Structure 1
Amino acid sequence: MAQCEQFTTAVDGVVSRMRALDATLPERDGVAVFNRVYLAVTEAVDRHIDGGRFPDARAAITLDVRFAERYLAAVAAAEERRPPACWRPLFQMRRHPGVRPLQFALAGINAHIGHDLALAVVDACRSLGCEPVDLEDEFDRVGDLLVSLEERIREDLMPGPDLLQIADPLTHLLGSWSLERARDATWSAARALWALRRLPELAEEFTERLDAAVGFAGRMLLTPLPD
């Protein structure tokens, strides 16, 4: 029981850090938009864990915390202008007036799911001394929660019918990206990285290419739109 409480405290810790970050950022800032979305996701995962909806709470908490730490590390690296390539577009475009809140939210989700989650699975496996297959249930449950929240995010942040001149190109742009496809690709990437763990040079090359590819998708998602 004490060990479970220790892990739960770790979730509370990353939630507290995201709340503190939210308090320091302007509301319209692109990182702030994503941070609010991700904070809601992390709080929802925490509630699901508390409600016993994850068969292995320790595994779910470990994956959740390692996942969040990847994002928080990117925020810290951005302060020194050294964020991973997958996060660079969001930090570069965070104040651009032609980028809509929904674009910021999905670009952050793209970076975090497409790159960070694969590495977080490997991090969690190392911490727990297990294989990726042992975390597949937790991975799928977190992914299902993200998919359900993505629909709500699109509804909340999509411009209204009075802004169809914006919504039409926005709908076209964002229709090219799918959280479901990104999640499937991430699971394959996590398994590949785990298989390459004893080949550090190849693992590093694979990680760099994944980082760059996800960053390219993020840059497309953040294409400025006309007023």
Structure 2
Amino acid sequence: MDAAETGRPGAPPDARDLRRLAGLAGDTPPTSIPEVVERLEAILDEAARSSPRGPDDGIASFTRLYLTITRRIGEMVASGEFRSSPFLVRLDLEFAERFFRALRDHADDARTAPGVWRVLFDNRSDPHVAPVNFAVLGVNAHINYDLAPALVATWRTVPPDGDGADSAQHHDYDLVNDVFALEMDGLREELGSLLSGGPDGAPWDVSANWLSDLVVTFTRDLAWIEATRVWRQGATPQACADSERRLDAIATFIGQGVLRAPLPF
């Protein structure tokens, strides 16, 4: 996939900036939620500082939202709100490492980064993309692409504790859904209001509304189902690779639609 295929081309990111962000992502997986928070804070500050878009930079816009969610999850772990904290903490770490790895891969060789993350990274300075769109792009990549593989990786360390929705792991997974829902409802309302009509009340592209709804509501239950399917296949390297290719293709398609969504600037 070349740059044109990742969406509307913006100002190309400076390779040195991307390498600095990749360095802040760390060269080893995080070992605690506070460490994830620390890395996200550093990435947010550097992305905003180095980009011509400042705090509206694409990576900064997504990282700001992700940092808010991660801090809240850390608070819930500390207050004992989860039934299976080892599972939840491991999932949070595996999930974060997927984002950090995408940054490292993109800085080393953009062609090796997942297509869905390239939609965000390659267009992070585009002046025609609103910060809310950037945030939704990152959520799309992180949930529709990263979450199912992160669950499989988590189960390698903390095996599943049952098949039903009554399991402690599923209960905790649903609690995190509530955190996402709180933040994503605000994003969906913001994006929906932008897409609902132009200055004269004219409707904007209907497909943009559909895509925004798909990104923010389609996600976490289906990620659990996909991870369970791969796990029951033995989570072999081939099964995992096939799943990730399929998820990347779907999420990239959605991301391209969100990137191109017309906004009433």
Higher relative contact order (CA 8 A, sep 6+): 1
* More moved, 50-59 vs 176-185: 176-185
Query: For 1:31-69, what per-residue CA distance to the aligned partner results, in whole angstroms no more than 9, with x for missing partners?
Result: 110000000000011111112211122211111111111
* More moved, 45-54 vs 190-199: 190-199
TM-score by length of 1: 0.85
Give me the whole-angstrom Cα distance separating, in 2, the residues matched to 1:14 and 1:198: 26
Q: In the alignment, what sits opposite 1:208?
A: 245
Q: Unpaired segments of 5 or more residues in structure 1? A: 1-7
**How far 1:130 moved relative to its partner?**
3.4
* More moved, 88-97 vs 35-44: 88-97
Counting helix residues as a fraction of each chain, which structure ranks higher? Answer: 1
**Contact 1:98-1:225 at 8 Å conserved across structures:** no
Amino acid across the alignment from 2:81: R
Give me the whole-angstrom Cα distance separating, in 1, the residues matched to 2:33 and 2:143: 18
**How far 1:185 moved relative to its partner?**
1.7
Give me the whole-angstrom Cα distance separating, in 1, the residues matched to 2:142 and 2:128: 23
Give me the whole-angstrom Cα distance separating, in 2, the residues matched to 1:101 and 1:132: 40
**How far 1:159 moved relative to its partner?**
6.7
**How far 1:28 moved relative to its partner?**
1.6
Determine what percentage of the aligned residue pairs are the same residue: 29
RMSD: 2.7
Q: In the alignment, what sits opposite 1:4?
A: none
Matched, 1:25 2:47: yes
Q: In the alignment, what sits opposite 1:110?
A: 140
Give me the whole-angstrom Cα distance separating, in 2, the residues matched to 1:59 and 1:40: 20
Give me the whole-angstrom Cα distance separating, in 1, the residues matched to 2:242 and 2:259: 26
* More moved, 205-214 vs 119-128: 205-214
Q: Unpaired segments of 5 or more residues in structure 2? A: 1-29, 49-54
SS at match of 1:212: helix
TM-score by length of 2: 0.74
SS at match of 1:141: helix
Give me the whole-angstrom Cα distance separating, in 2, the residues matched to 1:203 and 1:166: 49
Q: In the alignment, what sits opposite 2:218?
A: 181
| Aligned partner (choices 59, 66, 69) of residue 94 of structure 2 | 66
**How far 1:210 moved relative to its partner?**
1.2
Q: In the alignment, what sits opposite 1:144?
A: 178
* More moved, 136-145 vs 194-203: 194-203
Amino acid across the alignment from 2:237: P
Matched, 1:44 2:79: no
Amino acid across the alignment from 2:63: N
**How far 1:132 moved relative to its partner?**
7.1
Number of equivalent positions = 219
**Contact 2:31-2:93 at 8 Å conserved across structures:** no
